[in-house]
Amino acid sequence: MATKKETILEEELSRDDLTVKVGEKDEGFKGQYVPVFLPELPDSGDGMKVDKYEHVTLANEDKETCYKVIRGEWTEVPWPVFVALKQGRYPKL
In a domain, 71, yes or no: yes
Range of the domain at 77: 25-87
What pLDDT, on a 0 to 100 scale, did the predictor assign at position 56?
A: 92
The structural domain count of the chain equals 1
In a domain, 36, yes or no: yes
What pLDDT, on a 0 to 100 scale, did the predictor assign at position 15?
A: 62
In a domain, 3, yes or no: no
DSSP string over 34-90: EEEEBPPPPPPTTSPPPP-EEEEEEE-SS-EEEEEEEBTSEEEEEHHHHHHHHHTT-
Residues 38-93 have pLDDT tens digits of 988 877 556 667 788 999 999 888 888 899 999 989 999 999 999 999 998 899 88
In a domain, 73, yes or no: yes
In a domain, 8, yes or no: no
In a domain, 62, yes or no: yes
The letter for the amino acid at 25 is K
